[in-house]
Amino acid sequence: MNVLLLNPPYFKKFSRAQRSPAVTKSGTLYYPIWLAYAAGVLEDAGFNIKLIDAPAEGLSLKEVLDISTHFNPQLVVIDTSTPSIFNDLHVAENIKKALPDSFITLVGTHVSALPDETFKFSSHFDAIARHEYDYTLLELSSAIGKKSSIESIAGLSYRKEKGVTHNPSRPFIKEIDKLPFISKVIKKHLNTMHYFNPNSFYPMITLITGRGCPNKCSFCVIPQTLQGRGYRQRSPESVVEEFEYIKENFPEVKGIFIEDDTFTVNKKRCRDISELIMKRGIKIRWTANARADVDYETLRLMRNAGCRSLCVGFESGDQCILNDMNKGMKLEMMYKFMEDAKKAKVLVHGCFMVGNPGETKESLLKTLDLAMHLNPDTAQFYPIMVYPGTEAYEWAKEKKFLKTEDYSKWLTEEGLHNSVVGTEELSPDELVKFCDFARKKFYLRPSYVFSKLYQIVRTPDEIVRKFKAFRTFIKYLIKGSSPGNEAKKC
């Protein structure tokens, strides 16, 4: 049986799988992570799989339809996101017209949060696989292949007798080690040269060592809509075996990005993984998402094992705002973490987010002061983007801070993030202007520019990574975030 898994066409290099889907200023493009894992599960079970990443391949809707009709799948799985949902439904409609006998299922954060609304938006798809969908799709594929009932498939919502039925939710996957290596799926179906993250050497592989996150940040969409607030971890042996597989099978790959929401939740596990990497003599640079609470000894071991950098959400320089977003972090912890990271020679990409509950002009300046004082290797300043299914979205709706609930307007004409949330004191436009101001203040310091030039001289491998990020980022650094020429849609 043929199963098509589709990251549908939209803007070229539209990064749908990231936490805030958009075309990015840095040129970042995520692998279709969750589709790829589901593809691996289905392929391991014997189904004939085609995985298409249209934004990465630059495929138009017509090209996708041509590929789809030639492949003739019995099941089509389409990824979705909030800002692309109307486009995604349009793609589903066209596939349904071309392949009327195919069973079309939507997946992703948006449809998991708002299944009923999505069914009302369109009648041209058959079902939604809610939340963590790997094994929901496996059972659905088996049922379609055997022409049996789908009424007992946990996690599935589907049309039935002019209505919609929501089967009970599926428990989260406990035995994460049993999931396939995403790198094996990438090897067969995707092109590593299409994907880029400025925090990792290029080209890179992205993998997951654990799903979910136990932290309670009100804005973070994946734990609240897909994978839950708990951290289900692969064993250190499984993680390092995949490192070995990548090293042996991808001679072009220079970096690995660990895309867990918070890889460093379990410090002992981080140390165990690091020690096992060193014991097996695996030489590859890697990056991970972390919180600003990792101790020096753990950082040192990670660095010795090849950890080049960490992506850390500092978010705000105002303790009250950190408390209100349930960050669970103290400012003094951030200062200590940065001191230890620099001592351990681990680079840090700092994320700073504005527009959270209680934000004022004074708190904005506190955030900029924090960024300048911490002085991470790179910094990202962005207005909060709230998504259905999150506590932050409910806060913005309740306070009437959402500028629009038309999801198509959550992107600019270029496909970039469009700020749609304000606060009591600050409009969305003011938040955007502050981010532009903060970005220039941070990056245009002579001391910062000279430090980057020295970094390139000292580490020539940095040239490709920095050039790819810089050539896209520089135009936004200079002109700011106002809409410009419309990006090419696929």
Residue 448's pLDDT band, with cuts at 50, 70 and 90, is confident
Let me know if residue 485 belongs to a domain: no
Domain end residue (candidates: 166, 199, 231)? 166
Residue 470's pLDDT band, with cuts at 50, 70 and 90, is low
Cα gap 215→41, rounded to integer Å:
28
Mean pLDDT of 257-283: 97
Q: What is the pLDDT of residue 453?
A: 72
Q: What domain range is 39 assigned to? A: 2-166
Residue 489 in this model has a pLDDT that exceeds 90: no
Q: Which two tokens stand for residue 218?
A: 């009100």
Q: Which of 236, 135, 227 is nearest to 177 (CA)?
A: 236
Place of tokens 């809509």: 225
Cα gap 69→67, rounded to integer Å:
6
Cα gap 304→346, rounded to integer Å:
10
What's the pTM value of the predicted model, to 2 decimals?
Answer: 0.91
How far, in whole angstroms, is CA 16 from its chain's centroid? Answer: 7
Question: pLDDT per residue over 36-85, tens digit each?
Answer: 999 999 999 999 999 999 999 999 999 999 999 999 999 999 999 999 99
Q: What is the DSSP string of 56-67?
A: HHT--HHHHHHH
Residue 477 in this model has a pLDDT that exceeds 80: no
Looking at the fold, whether 74 and 193 belong to one and the same domain comes out as no
Looking at the fold, whether 331 and 198 belong to one and the same domain comes out as yes
Let me know if residue 449 belongs to a domain: yes
Q: What is the pLDDT of residue 481?
A: 55
Looking at the fold, whether 320 and 409 belong to one and the same domain comes out as yes
Sheet architecture: strand order including 127-129: 48-53, 2-7, 75-79, 103-107, 127-129, 156-160, 163-166
Let me know if residue 171 belongs to a domain: no
The CATH number that applies at residue 285 is 3.80.30.20
Report the 10 Å Cβ neighbour count for 325.
24
Write the burial class of residue 238 (CB in 10 Å: 0-12 exposed, 13-18 middle, 19+ buried): middle
Let me know if residue 484 belongs to a domain: no
Looking at the fold, whether 347 and 414 belong to one and the same domain comes out as yes
Looking at the fold, whether 219 and 240 belong to one and the same domain comes out as yes
Looking at the fold, whether 420 and 383 belong to one and the same domain comes out as yes
Q: Which residues contact 181 (CB under 8 A, 6 or more apart)?
A: 40, 207, 241, 242, 245
Looking at the fold, whether 261 and 155 belong to one and the same domain comes out as no
Let me know if residue 489 belongs to a domain: no
Let me know if residue 220 belongs to a domain: yes
* Residue 134 · residue 121 · CB < 8 Å: no
Looking at the fold, whether 123 and 182 belong to one and the same domain comes out as no
Domain end residue (candidates: 166, 192, 218)? 166
Looking at the fold, whether 198 and 161 belong to one and the same domain comes out as no
Mean pLDDT of 252-280: 97
Let me know if residue 122 belongs to a domain: yes
Residue 264 in this model has a pLDDT that exceeds 90: yes
Question: pLDDT per residue over 118-167, tens digit each?
Answer: 999 999 999 999 999 999 999 999 999 999 999 999 999 999 887 999 99
The CATH number that applies at residue 112 is 3.40.50.2300
Q: How far is CA 481 from CA 25, 276, 382, 437, 484, in A?
A: 9, 44, 10, 10, 8
Cα gap 420→406, rounded to integer Å:
10
Looking at the fold, whether 364 and 389 belong to one and the same domain comes out as yes
Let me know if residue 490 belongs to a domain: no
Mean pLDDT of 221-243: 96
Cα gap 429→379, rounded to integer Å:
20
Looking at the fold, whether 106 and 128 belong to one and the same domain comes out as yes
Domain end residue (candidates: 166, 195, 219)? 166
Looking at the fold, whether 416 and 475 belong to one and the same domain comes out as yes
> How many domains would you assign to the chain?
2
Mean pLDDT of 314-330: 96
Write the burial class of residue 458 (CB in 10 Å: 0-12 exposed, 13-18 middle, 19+ buried): exposed
Angle between helices 296-304 and 331-344 (to 10 degrees): 40
